[in-house]
Structure 1
Amino acid sequence: MASWSKQRALWIHRYNKYTHIVGKFRSFVWKYIYLRWLKYKAGNRPLVAIILSEQMGDIIACEPVVREVRQRHPDAYLIWLVRKQYVELVKYHPDLDNYLVEKCPSERVYLLRTGIFDTVYNMHISHRKCKYCPEDPINPTADQIDLTFDNYYNRGDLLYMFSQAAGLPALTADPKMYIPEKVRQRVSSLNISEAPIVIHCQSSHVMRDWPPENWNRLVRWLLDTYPYPVIEVGLESVITEKHPGFRNLCGQLSLLETAEVIRQSHLFIGIDSGPAHMANATGATSILLLGQLFDFVDYLPYSGRYKRGEDITILNNFGHPCSELPYGWVQEAAAQRLGQPKLV
């Protein structure tokens, strides 16, 4: 039975692999034709690519790159290559002319080899491969400054690092998010209480997370102590506390809707994650919980306001993972941000 299960898993992997590879080449051909048509339609305007296809926090943090590139190429047709799940983050940027959905890093390799783009600003570090494809994406500019996955968090915040990987000066600007009115109206229809405390408890990597029991304890204390409602955002909820002042919106919001809820918050409390970058880019006051991540001990991925220490309390028990951050530190930081508790 075990042997059959292994054989079945192997054939499923092979089917997924070759289906992906065939789909990649079809997608590449279609995109190349589409880009040729764009160049024809753009006339004398150069076709300029900005490449940072993932992750959510990286894309939000590197928004100032668009403004920098637009200043350098005021007449260019500016297009951002991005994965499908992150399109919202670039779709409404006023300095972009378009975006192109990237199927996988290997497809990007083939597109760049065609020379279809007149200028390319590639923010990716080398060797972030597709799990199915043999091609190894290389960024010579990142290699030239010795920027690797082993040292990138020791070199500065995300914008500072990735702007240099793209061949730009080390940028330090405040990131922005562009939330259209239709998204604000959708959030308004949710009838969210004014100025809530918004929390985000679970990231894409367990090493960034704080224990669920601590989150539940914190939410219970916040609701018992202050008049503000508490809203949880993200993909999956960790809060089990039952209270009329708590609202779970996990898995119910788009990326920009999540950003709008955070923008409206009285206080955002979260771990190092995409929503924390949203808080930085939307002007929210925040408490962020950090800890050792692999070999990175003293790191700060945020530029702009949070790097300057404005409207932010960063908690980091250096040398320990976020899971070991003392509960009392977070409660004390919240009390300092929220002020005098309500009278009982």
Structure 2
Amino acid sequence: MQTKLLKLLDQLLGAGAAACLPAAASRPLEVVRRILVIRPGGIGDAVLLAPALVALKKRFPEAELTLLAERRNGGAFRLCPQVDRLLLYDRPADLLEVLRGGFDVIIDTEQWHRLSAVVARLARAPLSIGYATNDRKRLFSHGVPYSQDDYEAFSFFNLLAPLGISAPESLSVPFLTIPGEAASRAEALLGGGHDPRLVTVFPGASIPERRWGAARFAELAQRLTLAGCRIAVVGGPGDRGEGETIVAGCGGLNLAGRTSLVDSAAVIAQSRLLISGDSGILHIAVGLGIPTVSLFGPGIEAKWGPRGLDHRIVNLHLACSPCTRFGTTPHCPDGARCLSEISVAEVIAAAQELLS
């Protein structure tokens, strides 16, 4: 479903249903045979949920793990072999199947909106877990607090605490897996074997305030090419035009709009480095163990910034940023200076630290 439609449905139906439905109560849980995890939203949340899915499947290896996602983020779970079944909100038959119930445990990973909590309540599991960020908390047998200051991957582990699963001190990488056929397609697109010079660039973002701009990425690509790198641009159909601008002056490869999300991940997996804004593609590189340079401004670095020695974050830390809350970034009347004033030289310097 489109983001705007989901938010409208949440306002019209979710809030009312959350207030009217009977509160959830915990029931005895004798055995865990079927687990449902609900993950609406974008690609980034889906990717950073993966370490928790790994831990969940390790704790209950015999249980069937079903994911209820959306079309826009469902592809991310193709990189998670722990998922036994993938169902989609925007496929009526799938949603109806979930509402029939039969799950022993339901975990709603949505942070704020109520519609997914309503689905979890209507599916009627003995044990249900979700974030207690508003009146949605009454729809779960176990409400869990949520903080804007926690790294999002660790926030998801908080949902597993009622099941006796603790968050690790650090994430083990890689926590995503490239299917073999996708790896083969990526090799064909890139022209053969592994190229140690390959740097992947993702210029896209779901909102304008998170885009650094094609002209800056083009200058970046030219300077990296002169330094001996080979550039490949990844992205969706909407990034195709910017990709052409970026590769025009450097002889790189524009794959934007030519690959699925899984195939884009396979291209990134063969890269030496990914350069991206705050995006779901950024988190895919993190999950594959690929070094990254990321540009942050509106987004909360503490929550979404990659962790570890193989990652560099470029952030001007202006007084007005970050401004994003619960996935919503307001329109910026000041031209998103937090990103637009990041210089190409700053990004080049961060990239060279990792490339050297």
Query: After TM superposition, is the score higher than 0.5?
Result: yes
Alignment equivalent of 2:105, drawn from 112, 119, 135: 119
Q: Which residue of 1 aligns with 2:152?
A: 158
Q: Which residue of 2 aligns with 1:30?
A: none
Question: Any conservation in 1 of the 2:268–2:285 contact (CA below 8 Å)?
Answer: yes
Alignment equivalent of 1:301, drawn from 293, 300, 304: 304
Task: Please state how far the C-alpha of 1:336 moved relative to its aligned partner.
Answer: 2.8
Q: 1: distance between equivalents of 2:267 and 2:130? A: 37
Question: Any conservation in 2 of the 1:187–1:260 contact (CA below 8 Å)?
Answer: yes
Task: Please state how far the C-alpha of 1:112 moved relative to its aligned partner.
Answer: 6.5
Deviations 1:106-159 (A, max 9, x none): x86x776654211112211232559xxxx6988864114443xxxx4x331111
Say whether 1:325 aligns with 2:319.
no
Q: Which residue of 1 aligns with 2:278?
A: 272
Q: 1:94 to 1:141 in 2, by over 3 A?
A: closer
Q: What is the identity, as a one-letter code, of the residue corresponding to 2:277?
A: I
Task: Please state how far the C-alpha of 1:102 moved relative to its aligned partner.
Answer: 2.1
Q: 1:211 to 1:45 in 2, by over 3 A?
A: closer
Query: In the comparison of the two structures, how many residue pairs are matched?
Result: 282
Q: What is the identity, as a one-letter code, of the residue corresponding to 2:153?
A: L
- Residues 128-139 of structure 1 correspond to what in structure 2 (within 5 A)? 129=115
Q: Which residue of 1 aligns with 2:62?
A: 75
Q: Which residue of 2 aligns with 1:142?
A: 131
Alignment equivalent of 2:351, drawn from 325, 328, 334: 334
Q: 1: distance between equivalents of 2:48 and 2:88? A: 19
Say whether 1:181 aligns with 2:180.
yes
Question: Any conservation in 2 of the 1:124–1:165 contact (CA below 8 Å)?
Answer: no
- Residues 77-96 of structure 1 correspond to what in structure 2 (within 5 A)? 77-91=64-78, 93-96=80-83
Question: Any conservation in 2 of the 1:91–1:98 contact (CA below 8 Å)?
Answer: no
Q: What is the identity, as a one-letter code, of the residue corresponding to 2:232?
A: I
- Residues 1-344 of structure 1 correspond to what in structure 2 (within 5 A)? 46-91=33-78, 93-103=80-90, 114-127=100-113, 129=115, 141-143=130-132, 144-147=143-146, 152=147, 154-165=148-159, 167=162, 169-171=166-168, 172-174=170-172, 176-192=175-191, 194-195=195-196, 196-223=198-225, 225-235=226-236, 236-237=239-240, 238-239=242-243, 240-241=245-246, 242-243=248-249, 245-293=251-299, 296=300, 298-302=301-305, 306-307=306-307, 309-319=308-318, 321-339=338-356
Q: 1: distance between equivalents of 2:110 and 2:166? A: 15
Task: Please state how far the C-alpha of 1:315 moved relative to its aligned partner.
Answer: 0.9
Q: What is the identity, as a one-letter code, of the residue corresponding to 1:117?
A: F
Structure 2 runs not aligned, ≥5 long: 14-30, 122-127, 133-142, 322-337
Question: Any conservation in 1 of the 2:107–2:130 contact (CA below 8 Å)?
Answer: no
Deviations 1:164-192 (A, max 9, x none): 24555445423521211111111122244
Task: Please state how far the C-alpha of 1:249 moved relative to its aligned partner.
Answer: 0.6
Q: What is the identity, as a one-letter code, of the residue corresponding to 2:59?
A: R
Q: 2: distance between equivalents of 1:272 and 1:284? A: 15
Q: 2: distance between equivalents of 1:162 and 1:45? A: 20
Q: 1:146 to 1:212 in 2, by over 3 A?
A: same
The 3-state SS of whatever aligns with 1:74 is coil
Task: Please state how far the C-alpha of 1:45 moved relative to its aligned partner.
Answer: 6.8
Q: 2: distance between equivalents of 1:122 and 1:310? A: 32
Q: 1: distance between equivalents of 2:145 and 2:270? A: 40
Q: 1:165 to 1:219 in 2, by over 3 A?
A: same
Q: Percent of aligned pairs with the same residue?
A: 22
Q: 2: distance between equivalents of 1:71 and 1:54? A: 25
Q: Which residue of 2 aligns with 1:25?
A: none
Deviates more, 1:61-70 or 1:188-197: 188-197
Q: What is the identity, as a one-letter code, of the residue corresponding to 2:171?
A: A
Question: Any conservation in 2 of the 1:263–1:279 contact (CA below 8 Å)?
Answer: yes
Deviations 1:48-81 (A, max 9, x none): 1122133211111111122221233222122111
Q: 1: distance between equivalents of 2:61 and 2:156? A: 22
Question: Any conservation in 2 of the 1:164–1:170 contact (CA below 8 Å)?
Answer: yes
